[in-house]
Structure 1
Amino acid sequence: MSLVHYRVTPHDGGWAYTFDGVFSESFPTREAALKAARRVAREQNVPGEGRVIEFQSADGRWHTEMVTGGDRPVADVIE
């Protein structure tokens, strides 16, 4: 099981949450960004349906695989 950590940080004159170096949209207050990050973390834990996905790897090759939808990461917010 993977771990997902969201962090709230100043960004673009406001606040945003980040994951793996990627910023969310900007929020006017830290509290608004924190609330959004907590919502996103909760949503990460909701299982989905199994389905076939396609993705391109770094070497340019396309892959097709079945994902179960129950293999959700553990997500949290680091304040």
Structure 2
Amino acid sequence: MTRITYRIVPHDGGWAYKLDDSFSETFATHDAARAAAIAVSREQQVPDRTSWIEFEDASGQWITERADGHDRPETAVED
């Protein structure tokens, strides 16, 4: 199972949650950023429909694959 971790970090004069190299919007307080990260983390775990998805890989090639809507990642939030 995949595990993803959202991290609470200073960002643009406030606070944000970060996943890999992507930042959320900026929040005025650490607590607000943490609450948003927890909400997003919980949403990641909700099962969805199984469907076909398309995406472009790092080499520019388009990939089509079946995404199992019940294969959800394990999530965490860290300060």
TM-score when normalising by structure 2: 0.96
Aligned partners of 2:53, 2:47: CA distance in 1, in Å?
Answer: 16
Q: CA RMSD in A?
A: 0.7
Q: Give me the whole-angstrom Cα distance separating, in 2, the residues matched to 1:35 and 1:43.
A: 13
Distance, in Å, in 2 between the alignment partners of 1:22 and 1:61 is: 22
Task: Map Cα deviations across residues 19-61 of structure 1 (whole Å, 9 max, x no partner).
Answer: 0021100000111000000000001110110001011111111
Q: Give the residue type in structure 2 aligned to 1:62.
A: W
2:26 and 2:38 mapped to 1: Cα distance?
15
Please list every run of 5 or more consecutive structure 1 residues that lacks an aligned counterpart in the other structure.
none
Displaced runs of 4 or more, over 2 A? none
Question: In the alignment, which residue of structure 2 is the partner of 1:77?
Answer: 77
Instruction: Structure 2: state its 5+ residue gaps.
Output: none
What SS is found at the alignment partner of 1:52? strand
TM-score by length of 1: 0.96
